[in-house]
């Protein structure tokens, strides 16, 4: 059984892969930034902007936000 610190170490690097479904990108992004301690307002603002256009914009916006 892994302890909490070992489980958290798994989230150090999040990979958003172009071609993954939008839901997978959003889920990976939200999981990563919540782990980093982002506020819900900040997450909602970035997601609203990312969803405002097409898939490529969604991908690039989320990618920029976690770099």
pLDDT in tens, the chain (67 residues): 445 544 444 545 677 889 999 999 999 999 999 988 999 999 999 999 999 999 999 999 999 998 8
pLDDT at res. 2: 47
Question: How far is 31 from 61, CA to CA, in rounded Å?
Answer: 16
Q: What is the DSSP string of the chain?
A: ---HHHHHHTTS---PPTTS-HHHHHHHHHHHHHHHT--HHHHHHHHHHHHTS-HHHHHHHHHHHH-
pLDDT at res. 15: 79
Record the pTM.
0.77
Where does residue 51 fall: left (phi above 0), alpha (psi -120 to 50 degrees), or beta otherwise? alpha
């Amino acid at each position: 059984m892994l302890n909490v610190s070992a489980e958290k170490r798994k989230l150090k690097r999040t990979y958003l892969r172009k071609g993954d479904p939008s839901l997978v990108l959003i889920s990976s992004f939200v999981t990563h930034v919540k782990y980093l301690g982002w506020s819900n307002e900040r997450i909602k603002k970035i997601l609203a902007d990312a969803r405002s256009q097409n898939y490529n914009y969604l991908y690039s916006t989320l990618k920029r936000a976690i770099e």
